[in-house]
Chain A
């Protein structure tokens, strides 16, 4: 990417024997929001802390707008960071927290006050300027932290799981607000999360991390529909792993033949087919020996689990209206919506 705002080149970080980052490469374009998604211990927070200057890379470079900033201390990097833990200064009001970074930049008192009020309004807390930390809810605290990070007009906004301590409803609202603000201000942003739904919902691109490196970085759609590796396929979305037989470019799975994805390994015979839950459709069929085990109502959709004659379980995600007549114990037939399936070597 030629217009990259931030670039990580072969960044390696080791903690004793554990490799937290293994020659990580990442480019983030100007005004882009990239999510680092991965399980605990995959190195996503370490990468963010290295960008912020709160941790140092053992090897590699962090390049901001063409300049190597490896040697620059945290307080000279102009990065706005929102932490997972509540990080407001408890001895200051919301407005004083927001104005802190501006004070460090010797902005005049009046300008600081105006900017703090403007940002608090932007994050939906115009009447909370004089409240102290303990007078704010968790969601409000994170909004103030976001306003504080944005006040310094950061080169890159770094969000380290900022929503994970909040309850579900607040989390959804706030993530949408983060995206709205990020788009309107055009701030280059890295969003670290372990929640795939969150990553998919707010990002231009999602980098799926595993064991210190990026497995795949792509738009949420590409990542979901064309996972590049087994890990990505398993981590993003929910997959059925079904026994299948591959012959040439065909897969034989649950009694039917479908196409085999071209991106799969070069093997023949026994393989594991990967089928997304929403690609499985279940229909009543009195002659079938496939039985429904459970139906979980999830609002607009329901998850139906069926048992195949060989004992394997198949999960389906269907609209609740369409599946309302299905009951546990009912015999059903299974249809696959995909014409082509991803597959892996048999374990």
Chain B
């Protein structure tokens, strides 16, 4: 009885949060299933998505940009965060500050800055967006990596490996890499999801990706655009759910003493 009473506040918070998050999504999903012509519900709007010839093209473009952004970001962040956890504790506040900058600087300023400062050849290549996406995803990917790596006794296990005869290269590839793989995958998917859904900077720099295409077609077919948004949301949700299931935390758990 007492346990049930204790669980009440938690249930209340969960209910409010659930309503806050799920109600708009549920409403959008319901709306996207409406078929005004026949006054009933169906998948006509969803079928319309796949009939659009640009759909696959823009999904491909956005995915390629997001993939390149994620590779750039991880190539920059993984060695940085590993180093911070092994040796660079003193520089942590500085790196924390730097990685917060993309949250503080308005995206418009970043876009206009990029437009004015980048050389001509970079401005005419769509993959410049990948670099900007990498900057925007940095605060989230950095924190995902850092939190994950803090949970692993990286310093101790790398010292143990070196003591056993492994040089730094072997230590990094045979010991550190497999241990941090789960955390790196989490950061990768976080970065992919954020880059894939980026709109503001893409639009300001006049490039066309999946998100800008959704905006354009929403002016032609509102119901279709809403179906597309719900579809994207569901796809990302399933994607993240799979990540959660596939990525196991690499923390050193200790089971109950048996001795």
Contact = CB atoms under 8 A, between A and B. Distances in A.
A75 B165 contact: yes
B60 interface: no
Contacts of A80: 163-164
A145 B252 CA distance: 13
B19 to A, nearest CB: 37
Nearest to A49: B159
Contacts, number: 109
Contact of B258 (A78, A87, A133, A140): A140
B255 A100 contact: no
Interface stretch (A165-173, A227-235, A306-314): A165-173
A74 B252 contact: no
A101 B162 CA distance: 9
A74 B255 contact: no
Interface in B171-194: 175, 178-179
Interface in A112-149: 133-141, 145, 148-149
B156 A83 contact: yes
A104 B165 contact: yes
Interface in B113-159: 152-153, 156-157, 159
A167 B163 CA distance: 27
Given A87-B156, A138-B257, A152 B165 contact: yes
A81 interface: yes
A337 B170 CA distance: 61
Given A52-B163, A86-B153, A104-B170, A167 B255 contact: no
A86 B258 CA distance: 17
A137 B259 contact: yes
Contact of A137 (B160, B179, B255): B255
B3 interface: no
A79 interface: yes
B254 interface: yes
A88 B252 contact: yes
Interface residues of A, number: 43
B171 to A, nearest CB: 8
Q: How large is the interface on B (under 10, 10 to 19, 20 to 34, 35 or more residues)?
A: 20 to 34
Given A91-B179, A104-B166, A85 B153 contact: yes
Interface string B226-259: 0000000000000000000000001111111111
A90 B179 contact: yes
Given A139-B259, A169-B259, A86 B164 contact: no
B254 A138 contact: yes
A54 interface: yes
A297 interface: no
B25 interface: no
A138 B258 CA distance: 9
B215 interface: no
Nearest to A136: B255
A148 B160 CA distance: 10
A137 B254 contact: yes
Given A104-B165, A104-B166, A104-B170, A86 B159 contact: no
A67 interface: no
* Most interface-central of B159, B165, B170, B253 (chain A CB within 10 A): B165
A146 B254 CA distance: 17
A74 B163 contact: yes
A170 B259 contact: yes
A90 B254 contact: no
A100 B164 CA distance: 7
B28 interface: no
A79 to B, nearest CB: 6
Interface of B: 152-153, 156-157, 159-167, 170, 175, 178-179, 250-259
7 contacts: A87-B153, A87-B156, A90-B250, A104-B164, A134-B255, A145-B160, A158-B163
Given A90-B152, A173-B259, 14 more contacts: A53-B162, A75-B162, A75-B164, A75-B167, A86-B254, A89-B175, A90-B179, A104-B166, A137-B255, A137-B258, A138-B257, A139-B257, A166-B257, A170-B257
- 5 smallest CB-CB distances across A and B, nearest first, come from A104-B165, A101-B164, A91-B178, A134-B253, A87-B160
Interface of A: 52-54, 73-81, 83, 85-91, 100-101, 104-105, 133-141, 145, 148-149, 152, 158, 166-167, 169-170, 173
